[in-house]
């Protein structure tokens, strides 16, 4: 059944929609899944393949300096046409999540969504509006889904496609006043590596925007502050037949540590601005147990308290057995971008203005996660995050609205116009 067709948020969005869709379908066919096991940048060769394709396409659009560097970063410049306007960056990441397969992605386009359940051909995967409330607002939209057994890769190839379509449109419309745009496509966002080695100075932008969010109109200038905390418990392993009075089981001590962690401080029991301790991996033998956790909060002080609590619980449990030994390894992962963006209020204001000019009421949401912008903002490049129109990331149910992707591309076009007005 073919439903009705929904309106685009603007004529600009409508004009961009075919190109955005075309690009998404092309980019998701390249497997760019990143891999935590490889410390090189990029972590996988597929990211270079997509990078090469994008450089070729950027050259085709007239961005002569488009280049792919050895670390897998694609950069290019679309010169502005207003003297004195600041240089702004548009960023999206090339890689897809290691959580589900990103190989042999076969995207499906569903025209004029009718509001019902979408059954995908493989693995009995179903998109049910009863469980995905965002779907209910997409009646009449054109949707893109997987075939049911892979990621779609709209995270973040929707962002890549939107930036490419926006740049193509701007290049073809030199009469529109625009700031100089630096395009950046980055590797290994999903494994938290890309932004750490991004050359901010060479990029040369006053501020940047990642297109890596989700629902139409969402804007993020606040993320979690994040740390990892690994606990290693060393026991004393002895043949169980000769163990009387000698064996100290690290596995049992680990179990007691886990049982003592507060149940209300988990990802599943918290929401909105509440933080958590998430145990994501436990490996234990009698001789040695390793508990890996991530700790999150929007408030740096509360984050410190969660880490201290975890440490104290582990120390108290392990102290009950003098022959056992505990190691605790805490690492900062990324900071809440808010405190860095507060110093540059114009960066968020410009984004909110561009969203409004597209006829959309912006929704400011603190993200219970991080973006490349968390690290980039702390390294001196203020980088909040814009929506892309993609949903259910990191799963085989991933989908994107073509209508909303077109709106995101239109917001990117308008953003260059907002900054052109700020020539000084
Ligand atoms: Zn992403």
| Digit-coded pLDDT (tens) for 166-199 | 999 999 999 999 999 999 999 999 888 888 889 9
**What pTM did the predictor assign?**
0.89
Contact 155, 97 (CB under 8 A): yes
Cα 181 from chain centre:
21
Model confidence at 292: pLDDT above 90 = yes
Name which of 361, 360, 367 is nearest 403 in CA terms. Answer: 360
H helices within 2-99, ranges in order? 11-27, 45-60
Q: Which two tokens stand for residue 222?
A: 């606040």
Residue 28's pLDDT is 97
Residue 53's pLDDT is 98
Contacts of 117 (CB under 8 A, 6+ apart): 126, 127, 128, 129
State how far the Cα of 144 lies from the Cα of 403, in Å rounded to an integer: 10
**Whether 421 is catalytic:** no
| Digit-coded pLDDT (tens) for 232-289 | 999 999 999 999 999 999 999 999 999 999 999 999 999 999 999 999 999 999 999 9
Pairing of β 399-401 and β 390-391? antiparallel
Is the pLDDT higher at 100 or at 325?
A: 325
Taking the centre of ligand 1 as the mean of its atom positions, its distance from the CA of residue 112, in whole angstroms, is 26
Taking the centre of ligand 1 as the mean of its atom positions, its distance from the CA of residue 234, in whole angstroms, is 37
Residue 357's pLDDT is 98
Helix-helix angle 154-172:11-27, to 10 degrees: 130
Residue 41's pLDDT is 85
Residue 1's pLDDT is 42
Model confidence at 110: pLDDT above 70 = yes
Taking the centre of ligand 1 as the mean of its atom positions, its distance from the CA of residue 211, in whole angstroms, is 8
What value does the mean pLDDT take over residues 116-139?
95
pLDDT band at 348 (very low <50, low <70, confident <90, very high): very high
Provide, for the chain, the percentages of residues in helix, strand and coil under a 3-state DSSP scheme, each rounded to the nearest 5: 35, 20, 45
pLDDT band at 3 (very low <50, low <70, confident <90, very high): low
Model confidence at 66: pLDDT above 70 = yes
Taking the centre of ligand 1 as the mean of its atom positions, its distance from the CA of residue 245, in whole angstroms, is 52
pLDDT band at 208 (very low <50, low <70, confident <90, very high): very high
What value does the mean pLDDT take over residues 37-48?
88
| Digit-coded pLDDT (tens) for 87-99 | 999 999 999 998 8
| Digit-coded pLDDT (tens) for 404-414 | 999 999 999 99
Q: Between vectors from CA 401 to CA 129 and to CA 360, what angle results, nearest 5°?
A: 100
Taking the centre of ligand 1 as the mean of its atom positions, its distance from the CA of residue 173, in whole angstroms, is 29
- Supply the mean pLDDT for the chain: 95
Give residues whose Cβ lies within 5 Å of ion ligand 1: 155-156, 212
**Whether 189 is catalytic:** yes
Set 31, 57, 95, 404: catalytic member? 95
What value does the mean pLDDT take over residues 297-316?
97
Set 142, 155, 188, 189: catalytic member? 189
With tokens 């469980």, the residue in question is: 131
Taking the centre of ligand 1 as the mean of its atom positions, its distance from the CA of residue 376, in whole angstroms, is 14
What value does the mean pLDDT take over residues 322-332?
97
């Amino acid at each position: 059944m073919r439903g009705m067709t929904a309106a685009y948020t603007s004529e600009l969005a409508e004009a961009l929609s075919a190109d955005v869709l075309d690009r998404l379908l092309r980019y998701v066919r390249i497997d760019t899944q990143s891999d935590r096991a490889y410390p090189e940048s990029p972590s996988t060769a597929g990211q270079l393949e997509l990078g090469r394709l994008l450089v070729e396409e950027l050259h085709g659009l007239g961005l002569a300096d488009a280049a792919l560097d050895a670390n897998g970063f694609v950069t290019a410049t679309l010169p502005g046409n207003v003297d004195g306007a600041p240089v702004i960056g548009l960023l999206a990441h090339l890689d897809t999540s290691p959580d589900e397969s990103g190989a042999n992605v076969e995207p499906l386009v569903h025209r004029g969504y009718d509001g019902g359940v979408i059954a995908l051909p493989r693995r009995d995967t179903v998109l049910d509006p009863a469980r995905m409330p965002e779907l209910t607002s997409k009646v009449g939209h054109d949707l893109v889904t997987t075939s049911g057994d892979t990621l779609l890769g709209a995270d973040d190839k929707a962002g890549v496609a939107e930036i490419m379509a926006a740049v193509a449109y701007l290049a073809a419309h030199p009469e529109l006043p625009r700031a100089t745009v630096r395009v950046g496509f980055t590797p290994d966002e999903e494994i938290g590596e890309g932004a750490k080695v991004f050359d901010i100075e060479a990029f040369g932008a006053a501020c940047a925007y990642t297109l890596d969010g989700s629902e139409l109109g969402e804007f993020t200038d606040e993320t979690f502050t994040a740390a990892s905390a690994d606990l290693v418990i060393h026991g004393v392993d002895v043949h169980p037949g000769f163990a009387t009075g000698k064996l100290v089981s690290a596995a049992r001590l680990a179990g007691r540590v886990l049982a003592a962690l507060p149940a209300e401080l988990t990802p599943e029991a918290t929401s909105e601005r509440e933080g958590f301790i998430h145990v994501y991996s436990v490996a234990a033998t009698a001789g040695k147990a390793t508990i890996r956790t991530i700790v999150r909060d929007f408030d740096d002080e509360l984050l410190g308290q969660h880490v201290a609590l975890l440490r104290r619980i582990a120390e108290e449990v392990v102290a009950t057995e003098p022959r056992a030994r505990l190691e605790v390894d805490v690492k900062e992962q990324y900071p809440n971008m808010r405190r860095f963006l507060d110093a540059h209020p114009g960066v968020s204001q410009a984004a909110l203005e561009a969203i409004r000019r597209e006829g959309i009421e912006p929704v400011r949401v603190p993200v219970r996660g991080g973006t490349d912008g968390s690290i980039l903002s702390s390294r001196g490049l203020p980088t909040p995050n814009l929506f892309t129109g993609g949903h259910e990331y990191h799963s085989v149910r991933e989908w994107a609205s073509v209508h909303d992707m077109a709106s995101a591309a239109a917001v990117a076009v308008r953003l260059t116009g907002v900054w052109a007005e700020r020539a000084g």
